[in-house]
Structure 1
């Protein structure tokens, strides 16, 4: 079988997140069938330096000449068959698209969020979903300061995105797009990407053969794992937990900008059965999972996928989640988890009560999730789907 030479391109964000983890997980898996190298830059490098260099940040965010010169050299030396782009904003710049078009290099573009139709990539700000910029007009984002809560930052990002869409025509000129769920694909079709150029390739999670998940606890707790930010809906979860018996514990594992406001809300709601762990090392996380009955995903934004679901299934734990974004594509209500309508005030607490009502069912649902992970979201299936994308791009 032909081994492609693939250059994986990624502009790191200021803070590590799930997207960055996915980039390296994808790269590691690809090397089983193809030759892969990375071209990585970061937002931190873009802003580093003296005052004059910082003054030129907006210009370099549009076209980062030094970085693109290096990228050009990479291509001449590596002779890559395609560029697999994950993110170029802001440090690599949309000039990477221009360079690929100029050199005639096919682009396989991985979609992790909604950046090409939203300055902050979430289509969510100030506590609610917002699709004002989905068709390429970013003035509403600038007006509402949706990126870093800054007029200047949002103006630069909005300008870059408008330039990418209207001048570079990236929506029409990218060879193939990879969406990680059908829900994410549907939104990008609304943005203007031709439907027949977007392939849906869900993420995978590799389990270790012969390693059993932790035994199911007799009186386990509910667990939230993730970044504590507004779109994750942890405030909704806390309000729902007021309806749960006081002897049932909720563990919130993670850190983020909402940590202190959420702790304050816990006190205000007089919740004595909620524990915030902050960030935990992997071995400490394993101890928390041992006492977990189910995982909770109370997101209130259009989740593009939801790796946290696969991570729970890997531990043979079912998931209680809002039915939003890709989550209802992954979770089968009553089989491997419970779904709650995010628009119904009592739905989440009802789903939590269902989860706590029968430990025997929870144990079986967790095993069902583990089986689905191994059958539907495994590395081999993912590799076959990626190769199908490469074939459609004329690379195989």
Structure 2
């Protein structure tokens, strides 16, 4: 099996995010069975160019594509596994792959094909107005980097990529949830070419799982950005009793705004811990009764759910995107309506009152992780992808 040589392509964003971490985690896991190498380009390289050259390079970055072609001729890879080509690698990678007769596996992480920012989220709320392939709203709404010019450039790039049929050159697509697969079918991708492969998470050693606490708090761990719904969570928290504690661990563009909101609402039972390294989160989990995932965008997956289950903690989440696909309501977590703070508040109160049931739900979550989201299952599913692509 090691004979299959896979080149992972990724265009880095200006800021490190979960997608970039997934690329390397995926590569490390695949390296157990296949030969894996990386071709990485960065948006920082474009930022150093003048505007006219930037625009030309996002369509076809000749410098990067020349290096990619040379790398392919030296490495003789059996396929390219594309994670992201926008903007630094450029869509020219699809054309180059066709000319070099290299099959493409496209690993999906977001909704870029139908949204200039890839999130289906803008101006504080969910939006799918560009999913059909017309990106006018993405430009008028300054949805990419809050800029008319950059949104227009990305809109033109995506329009051109669709018009030229470059996405049709992909041999197999990997969606990280059935929800994401259905979204891409609506965007025009042939569903028969999309394989669903849920993410995995290596289980902690049993002795590293914290004992379930008495009178524990709710824990949010993640990036403090609008789509994560922490503002929505604070509105719901204001409806709970003062003895209900919430710890928010993370940083991001909404950090100051959220702290001011909590103060304005008089939420003295809410603690902001700031960014906490993954290696230092054990104490946070030790005091947590459950995790809360209040996302208000179409979460393509939700690694934070697996991370909570790894700590034997159930999850309270909004019924949106892939979250209800992962969480069985009342079994390993609770689900609430993403549009109703009163429903979220009710579900949170139910969680605090669940007592022993909450502990059982945490154990169920850990069992779900062990059974359905382990590395062995993931590798089997990826082998199915390569088999469907006639690569193995």
TM-score with structure 2 length normalisation? Answer: 0.98
Q: Does 2:122 correspond to 1:108? A: no
Q: Does 2:64 correspond to 1:73? A: no
TM-superposed CA distance for 1:136, in Å, is: 1.2
* Aligned position for 1:37: 37
Contact 1:171 / 1:192 at 8 angstroms: preserved in 2?
A: no
1:273-312 Cα distance to aligned partner (Å, 9 max, x none): 1111111123432111111111000011100000000000
TM-superposed CA distance for 1:151, in Å, is: 0.2
User: Distance between the aligned counterparts of 2:205 and 2:219, measured in 1?
Assistant: 25
3-state SS of the aligned residue for 1:248?
coil
Which blocks of at least 5 consecutive residues in structure 1 are unaligned? Answer: none
TM-superposed CA distance for 1:344, in Å, is: 2.7
Distance verdict in 2 for CA 1:211–1:3, change over 3 Å: farther
1:243-282 matches, cutoff 5 A: 243-282=239-278
3-state SS of the aligned residue for 1:277?
strand
TM-superposed CA distance for 1:331, in Å, is: 0.2
User: Distance between the aligned counterparts of 1:197 and 1:190, measured in 2?
Assistant: 14
2:202 alignment partner, one of 188, 200, 206: 206
* Aligned position for 1:137: 134
User: Distance between the aligned counterparts of 2:112 and 2:278, measured in 1?
Assistant: 30
User: Distance between the aligned counterparts of 1:285 and 1:54, measured in 2?
Assistant: 42
2:123 alignment partner, one of 118, 123, 126: 126
Distance verdict in 2 for CA 1:286–1:208, change over 3 Å: closer
* Aligned position for 1:221: 217
Contact 2:95 / 2:166 at 8 angstroms: preserved in 1?
A: no
Q: Does 2:86 correspond to 1:89? A: yes
TM-score with structure 1 length normalisation? Answer: 0.97
1:161 alignment partner, one of 158, 171, 175: 158
The total of aligned residue pairs comes to 392
Contact 1:48 / 1:54 at 8 angstroms: preserved in 2?
A: no
Which blocks of at least 5 consecutive residues in structure 2 are unaligned? Answer: none
User: Distance between the aligned counterparts of 1:242 and 1:181, measured in 2?
Assistant: 33
Contact 2:11 / 2:88 at 8 angstroms: preserved in 1?
A: yes
Contact 1:218 / 1:359 at 8 angstroms: preserved in 2?
A: no
Contact 1:175 / 1:197 at 8 angstroms: preserved in 2?
A: yes
